Amino acid sequence: MWKFAVEYPQRISAWLLSLFLLLTAIGLAANVSADDVLNPGYTRDYVQEVLNESVNTTTLFAAHELISNGRFLKRRIYQPDTKYEMFRLPVELLLTDRSDAVRPFIKTGFGLLKVTGGATSIDGQGESDFSVTKSFTLISGAGVYIDLADGLSIAPAVTVSYTHLNNQYDFNNPFSQDVLQGQFGDFYNWNLDLLTYTPQLRVIYQAQVGPGRFRYILSVSQLFNDSFHSTSANVKINSSSGLVSNRFEYQKDMGVSLGTTALALQPFFQWGYISGKAASGLNFVNMYEVGADLIFSLKEKIAGMTEIYVGASYVSADSFEGYHVGLGAHF
C-alpha cells in the first residue's frame, strides 16, 4: 500500500489516484517524484491507466463465467473495504442434437454489478468519501462444440458484450472538495458505454469414474474493452485482460427422484488465473471457487430445458472473498 511518510505532493498523489480505482485498491508507488506528480499530463495519464484497470475488472466480473452471482468483499488496508453485489444470467442454446459430433450454439445473457467503496480523508478531517459504481451488461455470441475423441471435445466461441457504467462519487471532506472536485472533477460522476470482444476456447474432457462422471474444463479467454461514449472527455477505455480457468466436476446420481425427475449432486472446484489490466486492478492473479450443484434431470423437456440446477459456492483470493448462489439450466 501507499505510504504517508513522504513529501506532501506525493501523499496527495497516492491518495488521489487510489480514489479512481472504482472496484478495488492498488498498491501505489511511493517513489513517484514530486515533479511527476505536479505535471498534469503525468497525473492524468496515470489516472487513465487506473481507470482502464478498473473497467477491465468490471467487465471480467459482469460479462464472464468466472463468477455467476453473489456478494463479495475486497479487504483494503487503511481504507474502507470494497463491496461487490452481482447478478448474472448466462444462457447457452444448442442448435443441433447433443449426440451430433459438431454442435453449434449461441450464447446470450445479461449481468448486473454494483460496487461500493470509499476513501478516508488524507488529513483525518471530515467523513470518508463514498463511491458507487453500477454496471449493466448484455451478452451475445456463438460457438461450436467439436468432438475430437471419446470424451474429449473443444468449444471455440466469440462473444460481444455491451456494458453501461455509471459512477457516483460523494466528496465528503474539505480536502476532496477543494482538491479532487475542484481540480479533477471530470474523473468523477460519469457515464461510460463500451464493447467487450471475447474470443474463447474451451477444452472439455469427461469420463466415467466409479459411480459418477468426472469432467474437466480448461477455458482460455481474452477480453478486449473499447469505449465508444463517455460523459467525460478524460474517461476513455482501450485495454484488455486475460483469463484461464480450470474447472473440475464430479456428478453422481443420488438414487432418489421427485416424480419423474432424477436428482444428482455435483461438487466442483475452479481455479482462475487472471492477467492484464484486471489483474492489476484486483491486485491478485489467482482466484479459487469451491461449491456444489444439485441437478434435476428432466424426463421430458420443459421450455426446452433438459436439466435444472441450483448451487452455491465460496470464492477466495488474496484479500478477496465471497459467495454465490445460483439457478441455471441446460437446454
Most confident of 64-73, 211-220, 257-266: 211-220
Question: Which string of b and e fits 116-133 if b means at least 16 CB within 10 Å?
Answer: bbbbbbbeeebebbebbb
Most confident of 56-70, 82-96, 138-152, 269-283: 138-152
Per-residue model confidence as pLDDT tens digits over 144-190: 999 999 999 999 999 999 989 898 888 877 777 777 777 667 777 88
Asked whether the predicted pLDDT for residue 37 surpasses 50, the reply is no
Query: pLDDT value at position 47?
Result: 61
Mean of all residue pLDDT scores within the chain: 78
Query: pLDDT value at position 23?
Result: 32
Model confidence band, residue 24 (pLDDT cutoffs 50, 70, 90): very low
The span from the CA of 260 to the CA of 251, in Å, is 19
Query: pLDDT value at position 52?
Result: 67
DSSP assignment letter at 176:
I
Which domains are seen in the chain, by residue range? 8-288 (2.40.128)
Provide the phi-psi class of 163: left if phi over 0, else alpha when psi is between -120 and 50, else beta: beta
DSSP calls for 58-126: HHHHHHSSS--SEEEEE--SSSPPEEEEEEEEEEEEESS-TTSSEEEEEEEEEEEEEEEEEE--TTS-S
Model confidence band, residue 2 (pLDDT cutoffs 50, 70, 90): very low
Query: pLDDT value at position 262?
Result: 86
Query: pLDDT value at position 209?
Result: 96
Query: pLDDT value at position 49?
Result: 66
For residues 238 and 331, which has the higher predicted lDDT (pLDDT)? 238
